[in-house]
């Protein structure tokens, strides 16, 4: 169970938006504009687990997923899949690994080709990867897969526009399964669906995981969904992982201030509890990934930030067993940042330090 299937090492995906045109160069306005969508992610995904990846929009979680599948080529770092570094593989060799690494997409209305029948959509991986099926075998398998994901196989000749959102997402899942994958990136697979359908799809994913021994990277901004499906959860902020822990730990004993804020933003269904509980509310917006803050990227919005936070890049540290966080204000001895901030010896926590923010 603890064997790692995917290992990300200092993965970076930078997009260069610099203007390199002749005019810009001549006028000296060729400003460097690099979006650091993913900026140094180190992560192990273990065989058979579901790793939840959460964060605000634009924090780089989808880009991380795409970079693992090499749909976006990483700028640096490595992605090891069963021992092979995918980053340095040429596209032709990458194709042989592609069938083991599949993806389920966010928008079931955009992820299926509207001109193809359901049958040909699901059969496409079998043909492209030359899995050695003849036409009859492929159609048998297509219909099996439709059964597996809970679609009526009589509808193989229908087109995507004749299905509902939940059914389409099932088609997308069947297509991913057709390649016989080991690892699936589920990129917000339920966020475009009705709440009543979300649970069905999540249960389906859980069933399939058991049946086909799949490993998932479950990307979502829906914390409750992530809690429901994940074994471990990684929290991402501005292209970096800030906290990584077992799903139960991250919901009950968050360490990083950002995770605290994120979790406390989830409303509690009980109005009495909701009134009583203490919330960590963040000020301001997420800074631009073009010019991310120095040091800890969260220091501009962190209620516990000290002067050193703007200088020191915090390393991922195992604060508690199997519970990692990147924050210089906590340590295995003092894991609670609020308690640290309240300590009398905490000279750094002064108003003039916080004025650094602006």
Q: Do residues 230 and 52 make contact, with C-beta atoms less than 8 angstroms apart?
A: yes
176 vs 328, beta carbon nearer another protein: 176
Residues that bind another protein (CB under 8 A): 66, 69, 71, 95, 98-99, 102-103, 105-107, 110-115, 117-118, 124-125, 128-129, 136, 139-140, 143-144, 147-148, 150-159, 161-164, 166-167, 170, 172, 175-176, 178-179, 197, 200
137 vs 252, beta carbon nearer another protein: 137
135 vs 333, beta carbon nearer another protein: 135
The strands making up 215-220's β-sheet, listed across from edge to edge, are 101-104, 183-187, 215-220, 50-54, 232-237, 240-246, 323-325, 317-320
Could you say which DSSP state residue 83 is in?
T
* 245, β-bridge pairs: 233
Q: Smallest distance, Å, CB 92 to another protein? A: 10
Q: 145, 134, 210: which is closest to 177 by C-alpha?
A: 145
162 vs 213, beta carbon nearer another protein: 162
H helices within 28-134, ranges in order? 61-68, 91-98, 118-128
162 vs 338, beta carbon nearer another protein: 162
CA distance 300 to 237: 12
Q: Do residues 292 and 305 make contact, with C-beta atoms less than 8 angstroms apart?
A: no
Q: Smallest distance, Å, CB 122 to another protein? A: 10
CA distance 55 to 107: 18
Q: Smallest distance, Å, CB 125 to another protein? A: 4
Q: Smallest distance, Å, CB 165 to another protein? A: 9
Q: Smallest distance, Å, CB 213 to another protein? A: 16
């Amino acid at each position: 169970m603890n064997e790692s299937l995917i290992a990300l090492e200092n993965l970076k995906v930078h997009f260069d938006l610099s203007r390199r045109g002749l005019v810009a160069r001549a006028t000296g306005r060729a400003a460097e504009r690099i979006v650091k969508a993913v900026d140094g992610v180190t992560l192990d995904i273990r065989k058979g687990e579901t790793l939840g990846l959460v964060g605000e929009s634009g924090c780089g979680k989808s880009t991380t997923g795409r970079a693992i599948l090499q749909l976006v080529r990483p700028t640096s770092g490595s992605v090891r899949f069963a021992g092979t570094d995918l980053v340095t593989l040429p596209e032709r060799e990458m194709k042989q690994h592609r069938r083991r690494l599949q993806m389920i997409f966010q928008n079931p209305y955009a992820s299926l080709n509207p001109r193809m029948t359901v049958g040909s959509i699901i059969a496409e991986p079998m043909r492209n990867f030359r899995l050695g099926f003849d036409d009859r075998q492929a159609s048998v398998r297509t219909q099996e897969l439709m059964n597996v994901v809970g679609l009526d196989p009589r509808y193989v000749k229908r087109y995507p526009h004749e299905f509902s959102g939940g059914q389409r997402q099932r088609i997308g899942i069947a297509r991913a399964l057709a390649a016989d994958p080991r690892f699936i990136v589920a990129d917000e697979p339920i966020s475009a669906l009705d709440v009543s359908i979300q649970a069905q799809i999540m249960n389906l994913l859980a069933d399939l995981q058991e049946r086909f021994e799949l490993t998932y990277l479950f990307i979502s901004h829906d914390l409750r969904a992530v809690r429901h499906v994940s074994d471990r959860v990684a929290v991402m902020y501005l292209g970096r992982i800030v906290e990584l822990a077992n799903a139960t730990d991250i919901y009950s004993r968050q360490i990083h201030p950002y995770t605290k804020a994120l979790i406390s933003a989830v409303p509690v269904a009980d109005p009495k509890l909701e009134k009583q509980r203490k919330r960590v509310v963040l000020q301001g917006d997420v800074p631009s990934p073009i010019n991310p803050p120095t040091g800890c990227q969260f220091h501009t919005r962190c209620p516990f930030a000290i002067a050193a936070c703007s200088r020191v890049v915090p390393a991922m540290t195992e604060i508690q067993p199997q519970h990692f966080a990147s924050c210089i204000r906590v340590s295995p001895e003092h894991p609670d940042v609020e308690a640290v901030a309240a300590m009398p010896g905490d000279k750094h926590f002064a108003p003039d330090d916080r004025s650094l923010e602006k």
